[in-house]
Amino acid sequence: MRADRLVAALLLLQARGRMTAADLAEELEVSVATARRDLEALSAAGIPVYPQQGRGGGWSLVGGARTDLSGLNAAESQALFALLGPASSAAPELTSALRKLIRALPATFRADAEAAAAAVVSDPARWGERSRKPPELLERLRNATVRRLKVRLTHGSSAERLVDPLGLIDKDGIWYLIADTEAGRRTFRVDRIAAATTAEQPAERPDDFDLAAEWQRVVADVEQRRSLVSAVVLVDAELFPVLCKHFGRHCDPIGAEAGRVRARVTAHLARSLAEQLAGWGAAVEVLEPESVRRELARIGHDLTERYAT
């Protein structure tokens, strides 16, 4: 897990003072390119990790060869825990490590570090597409969330609204903002936010608000609306893991027969389900319902009409 490596890289730099990317790669058992990307990620997040060129160079923590976490300032502490916090929601062992790191911080920084770690939840199950490039407004929204400041944002074609940011969700590279608005609690997809500015006004946040629990409620609601139509299919056993990866939460095994797996897949419309299954060709056989079979027949007829010679 990358977050584990980032913590390990930071601790190795503390212990050794200076390391090359090759040294770090050997210690972490990863490629040199991966080690370099991890070091650059720490530096980009605001952690005082910098490279030194030339003979005897390498990467080191500014402030001395044997610094510790108490050498980080407030902004650097927030950056570190904002970087590691999302992964901790999916890894109990990393949550434990973060608690230990927080205890190593100066008392004046602990509250902000805890807020940064709690501001983001990671959900690795994708909803189809995936974006690898973080939205431009992400850091601004994260800072406002950690500092508990209101945000003026324009989402899509809607008018500007003043919101209380409650937390951010990293859903396999697609980011969402959960916020309270005058019309109630809303979830905004960050890459569809046209503009966002931080207002120097304190944001309201319920004392009992739990970001992870709120996101599970949002996911349950979305999944219910996305799963209105189901189909029973047969797929070769070796292809079933690929089918599951494609449909995510919308694929459940319900039996097996003669080297094939019987599964139930779901979508919001029969046509949408047929369009997803059509790409599998004869590798997937749809047993029911008839509405999805008819849509597949229509797709096949249309393709034959257009491309048959």
What is the average pLDDT value for the chain, to the nearest integer?
Answer: 78
pLDDT of the residue at 293: 95
Helix (H) or strand (E) holding 152: strand 149-155
Every domain range in the chain assigned CATH 1.10.10.10: 2-76+91-111
Residue whose C-alpha is closest to residue 171's, from 136, 137, 215:
215
Q: Is the pLDDT of residue 289 over 80?
A: yes
pLDDT of the residue at 220: 82
CATH class of the domain defined by 2-76+91-111 = mainly alpha
Q: Is the pLDDT of residue 97 over 70?
A: no
Every domain range in the chain assigned CATH 3.30.70: 227-307
- 227-307 placed in CATH 3.30.70: yes
Sheet holding 284-288, edge to edge: 251-257, 260-267, 229-236, 284-288
Residue 299's pLDDT band (cuts 50, 70, 90): very high
Q: Which of residues 280 and 62 earns the better pLDDT score?
A: 280
CATH class of the domain defined by 138-209 = mainly beta
Q: Is the pLDDT of residue 206 over 50?
A: yes
Every domain range in the chain assigned CATH 2.30.30: 138-209
pLDDT, tens digit, 9 for 90 and up, residues 64-93: 434 445 555 555 555 555 555 554 454 555
Residues 158/164/170/174 CA torsion (nearest 10 deg): 10
Residue whose C-alpha is closest to residue 117's, from 211, 35, 206:
211
pLDDT, tens digit, 9 for 90 and up, residues 113-167: 556 656 777 776 666 555 566 778 888 888 888 788 999 999 877 788 999 999 8
pLDDT of the residue at 296: 94
What phi and psi values does residue 91 have, to the nearest 5 degrees?
-140, 100
Q: How far is CA 259 from the centre of its chain?
A: 35
Region of 29 on the Ramachandran plot (φ > 0 left; ψ -120 to 50 alpha; else beta): left
Residue whose C-alpha is closest to residue 46's, from 73, 9, 13, 6:
73
